[in-house]
Structure 1
Amino acid sequence: MVDIDVPIWAARLGVLRRGRLWSQRELAERLSAAADESTRDRLPALETLTSMIRLWEAGERRPDEWYAELLCRAFGVDETELFVGDAAGTTLWHYLTGIPLVPGMFTAEEEESTGRAIEAPQRADDRTVGYFRAILDAYTRTDLRPADAISVLRPVFVGIEEFRHDASSPVRRAFLLLATENAELISRLHHEAGNPGRALAWSDEAVRDAREAADALLEAYTLAQRGGLSDTAGDPGGLVALAVAARERAHLPARVDALSRHHEAQGHALAGNLDMCRRRLEESAQSLAEPGDDTPYRFDCSTQAHDTLCAGCLVDLGHARDAIEILEQQPPKAPPTYATAYALARMAHAYADVHECERSVETARQALALARQTGALRALRELAKVHIPPQEARHTRIRP
Structure 2
Amino acid sequence: MITIDVPLWAARLRALRRGRLWSRRDLEERLTEAAGETEPGLPADAVRAWEAGERRPDPGHAELLCHAFGVDEADLFVGPGSGTTLWHHVTGIPLMPGLFPEEEEERVGRAIERPWRADAGTAGYFERMLDACAVPHARPADLAAALRPVFAGIEGFRRDARPPARGPLLALATRDAELISGMEHEAGDARGARAWSDRAIREARETGDTLTEVFALVQRAELVDAAEPGEIVEAAVAARERTGVPAEVGTLSRRHEARAHALAGEVELCHRCLEECLEESGETGAELCAGCLVDLGRPGGAIEMLESEPAPSAPAYLAAYVLARKAHAYAEAHERDQAADLARQALSLARRAGAARALRELGRVHL
TM-score (norm 2): 0.93
Q: Distance in 2 between matches of 1:178 and 1:41?
A: 43
Counterpart for residue 328 of structure 2: 349
Which 10-residue stretch deviates more, 376-385 or 258-267?
A: 258-267
Q: Distance in 1 between matches of 2:350 and 2:360?
A: 10
Q: Distance in 1 between matches of 2:265 and 2:2?
A: 60
Q: Distance in 1 between matches of 2:121 and 2:162?
A: 14
Q: What is the deviation of 1:49?
A: 4.2
Encode CA deviations 1:146-203: one digit per residue, 9 max, x unaligned.
1010110000000011011111100111111111111111111111111111111111
CA contact (8 A) 2:311 2:319 kept: no
1:155 aligns with 2:149: yes
Query: Which AA in structure 1 matches 2:62?
Result: A
Q: Distance in 2 between matches of 1:221 and 1:332?
A: 26
CA contact (8 A) 2:312 2:319 kept: no
Q: What is the deviation of 1:11?
A: 0.6
Q: What is the deviation of 1:75?
A: 0.7
**Paired residue secondary structure (2:166):** helix
Counterpart for residue 393 of structure 1: none
Encode CA deviations 1:282-333: one digit per residue, 9 max, x unaligned.
54466567xxxxxxxxxxxxx9x93211110111122111111111123357
Counterpart for residue 258 of structure 1: 251
Matches within 5 A, 1:288-307: 306-307=285-286
Counterpart for residue 327 of structure 1: 306
The partner residue of 1:375 within 344, 354, 357 is 354
Q: What is the deviation of 1:357?
A: 1.2
Which 10-residue stretch deviates more, 206-215 or 136-145?
A: 136-145
1:255–1:106 Cα change, 3 Å: farther
Query: Which AA in structure 1 matches 2:112?
Result: I
Q: Distance in 2 between matches of 1:332 and 1:222?
A: 28
CA contact (8 A) 2:11 2:89 kept: yes
Encode CA deviations 1:241-294: one digit per residue, 9 max, x unaligned.
3211111123222442232121111123234444543443354466567xxxxx
CA contact (8 A) 2:190 2:225 kept: no
CA contact (8 A) 1:25 1:50 kept: no
1:54 aligns with 2:33: no
1:168 aligns with 2:162: yes
The partner residue of 1:267 within 260, 265, 271 is 260
Which 10-residue stretch deviates more, 185-194 or 272-281?
A: 272-281
Q: Distance in 2 between matches of 1:268 and 1:326?
A: 19
Matches within 5 A, 1:281-292: 281-284=274-277
Encode CA deviations 1:52-108: one digit per residue, 9 max, x unaligned.
222221212222333222211111111111112230000000000000011210000
Q: Distance in 2 between matches of 1:214 and 1:335?
A: 34
CA contact (8 A) 2:32 2:39 kept: no
Counterpart for residue 247 of structure 1: 240
Number of matched residues?
367
1:85–1:137 Cα change, 3 Å: same
Q: Distance in 1 between matches of 2:210 and 2:72?
A: 49
CA contact (8 A) 2:224 2:260 kept: no
Q: Distance in 2 between matches of 1:244 and 1:75?
A: 47
1:288–1:80 Cα change, 3 Å: farther
Counterpart for residue 219 of structure 1: 213
CA contact (8 A) 1:217 1:250 kept: no
- Which 4+ residue blocks in structure 1 deviate beyond 6 angstroms? none
Matches within 5 A, 1:185-196: 185-196=179-190
Counterpart for residue 317 of structure 1: 296
Query: Which AA in structure 1 matches 2:270?
Result: C
1:50–1:252 Cα change, 3 Å: farther
Query: Which AA in structure 2 matches 1:29?
Result: E
Query: Which AA in structure 2 matches 1:242?
Result: A
1:143 aligns with 2:137: yes
**Paired residue secondary structure (1:328):** helix
1:84–1:235 Cα change, 3 Å: closer
**Paired residue secondary structure (1:104):** coil
Encode CA deviations 1:106-152: one digit per residue, 9 max, x unaligned.
00011001101111111011110010011111111343211010110
The partner residue of 1:181 within 175, 194, 201 is 175
1:41–1:277 Cα change, 3 Å: closer
Query: Which AA in structure 1 matches 2:18?
Result: R
1:258–1:333 Cα change, 3 Å: closer
Q: What is the deviation of 1:205?
A: 0.6
The partner residue of 2:78 within 84, 101, 113 is 84
1:57–1:258 Cα change, 3 Å: same
Query: Which AA in structure 2 matches 1:277?
Result: C
CA contact (8 A) 1:56 1:62 kept: yes
Q: Distance in 2 between matches of 1:316 and 1:331?
A: 22
Counterpart for residue 12 of structure 2: 12
The partner residue of 2:65 within 58, 66, 71 is 71
TM-score (norm 1): 0.86
1:119 aligns with 2:113: yes
The partner residue of 1:95 within 89, 99, 111 is 89
Query: Which AA in structure 2 matches 1:259?
Result: L
Q: Distance in 1 between matches of 2:296 and 2:38?
A: 57
1:50–1:132 Cα change, 3 Å: farther
CA contact (8 A) 1:34 1:74 kept: yes
Matches within 5 A, 1:40-51: 43-44=40-41, 48-49=42-43, 51=45
